[in-house]
Structure 1
Amino acid sequence: MTLVDAAHASGRGFTATLSRDEQRAMGQYMTPPTIARFMAQRLVADVQQDHVRVLEPSAGGGILAAAVVEALLAKQEDQRPGFIDLYLFELDARLVPGLEALCHQMAQACQAAGVQLDWRISQEDFLLSELALRGQAIEGLLTISNPPFLKLNKTSDRRAHLHSYAVYGQPNIYSLFMAATARLTPPGGKWCFITPRSWMAGQYFKAARHTMLAHLTIDSLHAFENRREGFEEDSVLQETVIAWASGRQLFEPSLNILLTRSQGASDLDQSQVTAVPTERVVGDDEHVMLSLPQSQQDPFEGWTATLRTYGFEVSTGRVVAFRAAEHIRETASSWSVPLLWLQHVKQQEINWPIRKKREHISATAASSWMLVPNAPMVLMRRFSPKEDARRVTCAPYVGMLPGLVLGLENHLNYIYRLSGRMTPYEARGLSAFLASKVVDEHFRALAGSTQVNATELRKLPLPPLAAIEEIGRKVSAKPSLEEIDEVVNRVLGLPVAAQAAA
């Protein structure tokens, strides 16, 4: 039995004793052998030091450490290290005996290859360890990890307090593992994590990204396109990504990042490699969000305008149903106006009323602060199912409903002109552009989530305003996605590759 197979058997034997609720509460999901080897092989590919140190900060069954040792021993003799120091951290005492047995097996394999292996198993929370809290780089360190993923209470959890440099909003424990180990990675050191891809974007992971990118240069990213196949043995529904990085102090925008994709573990060997400039993957503003572009070419190249450039703003609907209950009505009256909910907004179409919701809201002095002018705008669902054809579900509103003002429920975003009125052609053109294939690929690369938030909309590069208006003139009143893609590509003169992708 190989080292990886032995570790896998030990880890799976442990998780088999847990109920689904226990496993979820612990955030404990074991890495499949194929993925463990895939991670380790790329991690050690350029390692040539004679003395390496391997850290697995949330060891579980130790499969990732075993995969690294296997990969190091598989190197040609003149490139193989002479010494390996192994640091394993595992909080659950039930896993320690299996880790000890695995370490003995790894030591025997190393001895047979003429390599000395020393190991230390620490039964403690890595985030509370002296190593993590000290945060000093360790010479020759290779970190590999599949950390637990679960939310922490930043006000009561000691780990969030001690690693506050990586905490913003509601932290997830896996991002603290990523940030804490980034601080330990020296120039020339290597770092590899498999996690949900949510850390790559959004405000909650902003501080963790800043910490990681202050100590690391991202080398490669691999995305699992199928949510079910990354951890199929545990039925984990996550959009998963593997990140490899090198310890560096300087950000070099001239470098490329290697991107690969697979549906799951079974087609890893068929993953095609794309080299993409770092600046297309790692944002250069305060949010430092990461994306996974579909191609080398950037269809937005040369576009520097944003919503703000054209005097537009994006906001969230102000009507929070439970707080506004006294103002929401089942039927219309002389002093009520339409209230639009998420269900009223379809792709490029607004259907009101549908007579399944409380679709009216009083327009009085008491409720006026939560109402918006009845003027042209673009309405967007804040959440869309992953199965939807496009990440953005939006529709132009050109003033077809009665009243001087409208109510917009909190699950809608809306784009409007800050001063003056958006024209109907601007609303139709902007809505069609946001629903186009080229924008869909941009948001899927950036977020990989069901939410396109206001920050991402404000950062979206836009074509010239005249082109947006031309799109609005050429699309029909209720265009299909096929019509939208055809018009948008033709008006914007997108490259042939982008048209083919559409």
Structure 2
Amino acid sequence: MLNEVESYRSEANSKLNQKTKPSLGQFFTPKPIALYMASLFENIKDTIKLLDPGAGPGSLTAAFTDEVVSRNCVTSLSIDAFEIDPILHPFLDRTLQACKKVLATRSVPANTSLQGLDYINSSLLNSFMQVEQKYTHVLMNPPYKKISATSNHRQLLRSAGIESVNLYSGFVSLALKQLLPGGELIAIIPRSFCNGPYYQAFRELIIETSAINHIHIFDSRNMAFSDDEVLQENIIIHLTKGKSQGTVTITSSPSSDFHLDEESGTITASDMTVRRVDFSSIVYPNDKEKFFHIAANDRDLAVIKKLEVFSSKLQDLNVSVSTGPVVSFRAKEFLKDSKDNNSVPLLGPSHLGLRVNWPKTGKKPNAIDITPATKKSLWANSGSFVFVRRFSSKEEKRRIVATLYEGELPGELIGLDNGLNVFHTGKIGFDPMIARGLFIYLNSTLLDKYYRNFGGHTQVNATDLKNLNYPSKDSLLRLGACVEDRIPTQMEIDNFIDEEIFRMTGERNSPMDAQQKIDDALKILILLGLPKAQHNERTALTLLALLNLAPDQSWSELQRPLIGVTPIMTWVREKYGKEYAPNTRETFRRQTLHQFVDAGLCLYNPDKPDRPVNSPSACYQIALELFHVLLTYGTPDWDSALAKWLQASPTLISQYAMGREMELIPLILNGKTQIKLSPGAHSQLISDIVTEFGPRFAPGAEVIYLGDTGAKEDFFDKERLAELGVVVDRKGKLPDVVLYWPERDWLLLIESVTSHGPVDGKRHNELAKLFSSAKAGLVYVSAFPDRKTMVKYLSVLAWETEVWVADAPTHMIHFNGDRFLGPH
């Protein structure tokens, strides 16, 4: 059903007016995000009443219905889906019908209602000051659109005691009021509500009425709605009305590829991190404005803590920040490409770098005429200013970039475009040394990292800059004294800030040390030729773990530990403050370590090459030749050492691959298909099942499936299994080996027991259910390497099954009371 509804979403998207879509906030929820949001509900049982305001084509409603079906605890489901745009009604209606159809197969009574109305108007127009509490669950992706103080929406919301400046906060606030006590609300909304005075009432409403259970943040602001190329800081928030506030789970992911993890049975995303924090670390107890501070990991939290040493406000410094006063489109007739005797310099975003670059050839004006109409918006060209660009048009490396201006342009007046945030004192410049210190602080990596946790806008507003804490006047003077005639480098700027913090606290450790090591590791991986898929923080941290290189160590202090996947993840958490979710273990193994081994960067099980692929002792070690190269990083010898390694690496990779190849167990299937299994008892037993068990007890049998072998790809004849009546989407549910014996028309379901369990009662029921549609008879077999291993499991082996032991291949043990080998 979700795939079907996803096709509705794509088709509906194409029908919309692409020019008006952004103004209406029509960005539909992709299937992976909808799947994840629905999975976050804690309680879905008994009688459910769901609200989906701004439903679009119904992706969230479909995901919720899917969750209802999978949990199988609901006695009835009622859905109110609001959608104001009539273009979307046919798609939403199809989704609601699909939901009812699926629920009917599970005998769940369903009542769906497509409300083709404005959610706010229809909810409040006839019920001033009284909002009915009627929903147990709310799942929403509300529209993102500012609402003016005089609008009908603003007045209606105010009548219900809701102060809102944007439709999204209005939708959430109203839905919270309509939620029954104990009801849950999950929404994907912009992060902009987390700070600033405009959303204080919204933050207070959340805190006063609900408990925050979970917040998910996206590492990149173009991830959540990438189909629509939307640059927006979005979060997913999960609230429970009336619940006492406990700890909050914060997850983050670099992408929105949410999917079902087979091993844990949970919805996850690649490289998802997870941490649980006290609510007091999100909303500080003494913060009257109730700002939300959301740190995805301990490293982000360390940035917040580090900046707490600076506690001054701009008013303490006698400095203000304002939007530039010249509104270019209103003064269009007075703008010029070049300055003359009747005009003054005009500075806009295009003129800003670390220094002012004026004049600049291009489409943007460089000057503005002095006229009675413009003179009131021109400021005195006196003293020093600091500028910060308001808007960023793409995913940029830095959010805050400050420009130092020290009055170097000609004239007594200057024009400042409203695309700038301007630090000033009474509309004139201020002390040059304070301005230089402010320039250093605003351009520090530490502040930029902090702002990304603090600021939820795609632009840097003057209000955000006012709400930041700043160094004291004395600190700014010291920082300003570090700036000479040339603009310092980023490394110098960060060192100036570190020295000032050290002077104030006596602490040297900086969270930026960790970031620098990660950046270094990424540069190295790119230089070593790793594919783009491995140019990410997870892979960089894995390299650092293989070298045991902590943030406060130098590249000359590298080591070569033997380390496994889980210890790597533990090391990353302890040393770099990033806790990956447990179900990302396979991502480390398959998307980083496999590539390291293939590229010759590290060795797999160098201490015991024949160790089983599924052994908990499996480990990796950086290649010795590369280790000696990395020791030179940051030294004059680095370039030549790297060049020599790159020249020799194809030979080294070939040697490593040859060594691994010698350890593999070759296996011919049906005389035509060859695969090579990784070394170890488990793979050896699977080989024995095919080469010893099959020919003796099911001669002429076809190999349908081999799994968990450590081969690059499991062998799976999916089409043949479908011909036999069994359609399986997820290989993880299959037994280790599936054979089909045409002569008897039997399917042999064989568990290879070296570390995992045999066919016990639970597994027998699972397999019987999975293969219930099979046309062939079913035979259940537990295979053991020897009788000693078998004895461990004797007490749990299921009746009506078979047992085969590889060290006595000509015999079988029958746990059948009335027949030998065969279906029961």
In structure 2, the residue corresponding to 1:270 is in which secondary structure? coil
Deviation of the 1:211 alpha carbon = 4.2
CA spacing shift, 1:106–1:350, aligned 2, 3 Å: same
Q: Counterparts in 2 of 1:79-228, with a 5 A limit?
A: 80-91=73-84, 92=86, 93-95=89-91, 97-111=93-107, 117-130=110-123, 134=127, 136=131, 138=133, 141-150=136-145, 155=150, 158-164=152-158, 166=162, 171=166, 173-201=167-195, 205=199, 208-228=202-222
In the TM superposition, what is the alpha-carbon distance from 1:56 to its structure 2 partner? Answer: 1.6
Q: What TM-score do you get using the length of structure 1 for normalisation? A: 0.81
The correspondence for 1:37, drawn from 25, 35, 38, is 35
CA spacing shift, 1:152–1:491, aligned 2, 3 Å:
closer
Query: Conserved in 1, the CA contact under 8 Å of 2:51 and 2:135?
Result: no
Tell me, yes or no, if the aligned pair for 1:319 and 1:410 is still in contact at 8 Å: yes
Q: Which runs of 5+ in 1 are unaligned?
A: none
Matching residue's letter, 2:80: Y
Q: 2:436 aligns with which of 428, 443, 465?
A: 428
3-state SS of 1:273 partner: strand
Distance 2:374 2:133 in 1: 61
- Greater C-alpha Rg: 2
Whether 1:398 and 2:406 are equivalent positions in the alignment is: yes
Distance (whole Å) between structure 2 residues aligned to residue 118 and residue 365 of structure 1: 62
Residue aligned with 2:350, SS: helix
8 Å contact kept, 1:200–1:290: yes
Q: How many residues align?
A: 485
- The answer for unaligned runs of 5 or more in structure 2 is 259-267, 503-507, 517-824
AA aligned opposite 1:124: L
Q: Verify: 1:303 aligned to 2:310, yes or no.
A: yes
Give yes or no for contact 1:49–1:140 (8 Å, CA) kept in 2: no
- Pairing of 1:367-446 with structure 2 (within 5 A): 367=375, 370-372=378-380, 374-403=382-411, 405-417=413-425, 422-446=430-454
Aligned to 1:478: 487
CA distance in 2 between partners of 1:365 and 1:128 (Å): 42
SS of residue paired to 1:107: helix
Alignment-derived partner of residue 500 in structure 1: 514
2:357 is aligned with 1:351: yes
Q: What is the DSSP-based 3-state SS (H/G/I as helix, E as strand, rest coil) of the residue aligned with 2:182?
A: coil
Residue by residue over 1:447-471, the C-alpha shift from the partner in whole angstroms, topping out at 9 and shown as x without a partner, is 3434222221111112333332222
**Larger relative contact order (CA 8 Å, sep ≥ 6):** 1
Query: Matches of 2:429 and 2:15 in 1, distance apart?
Result: 62
**In 2, Cα distance between the equivalents of 1:123 and 1:29?**
18
Q: Aligned residue for 1:293? A: 295
Question: How far off its partner does 1:144 sit?
Answer: 0.3
Q: Give the 3-state SS of the residue equivalent to 1:179 in structure 2.
A: helix
Between 1:321-330 and 1:146-155, the stretch displaced more is: 321-330
Q: Give the 3-state SS of the residue equivalent to 1:303 in structure 2.
A: coil
2: distance between equivalents of 1:87 and 1:485? 53
Cα distance in 2 for residues equivalent to 1:431 and 1:280: 29
Matched residue of 2:34: which SS?
helix
Q: Are the equivalent residues in 2 in contact too, given 1:390–1:435 (CA < 8 A)?
A: no
> 1:191, CA displacement in angstroms?
0.7
User: Cα distance 1:499–1:185, how it changes in 2: closer, same or farther (>3 A)?
Assistant: farther
Question: 1:140·1:188 contact (CA, 8 Å) conserved in 2?
Answer: no
Give the residue type in structure 1 aligned to 2:37: M
1:460 aligns with 2:472: no
What is the SS of the residue equivalent to 1:64? helix
Q: What displacement does 1:430 show?
A: 1.0
How far is the alpha carbon of 1:39 from its aligned partner?
0.4
Tell me how far apart the structure 2 counterparts of residues 147 and 168 of structure 1 sit (CA, whole Å): 13
CA distance change for structure 1 residues 86 and 306 in 2, over 3 Å: closer, same or farther? Answer: same
Taking the aligned partners of 1:367 and 1:327, their CA distance within structure 2 comes to 11
Tell me the alpha carbon deviations over residues 173-230 of structure 1, each in whole angstroms, 9 at most, x when there is no partner: 3333222112223442211112344444556655544544443333322223345443
* SS of match in other structure, 2:187: strand
TM-aligned CA deviation for residue 38 of structure 1:
0.6
Q: Deviations over 1:274-332 (max 9, x none)?
A: 33444554477675454543523322224331111222221233334465678767435
Q: Which moved more, 1:487-496 or 1:283-292?
A: 283-292
CA distance in 2, matches of 1:228, 1:364: 44
Q: 1:132 to 1:432 in 2, by over 3 A?
A: farther
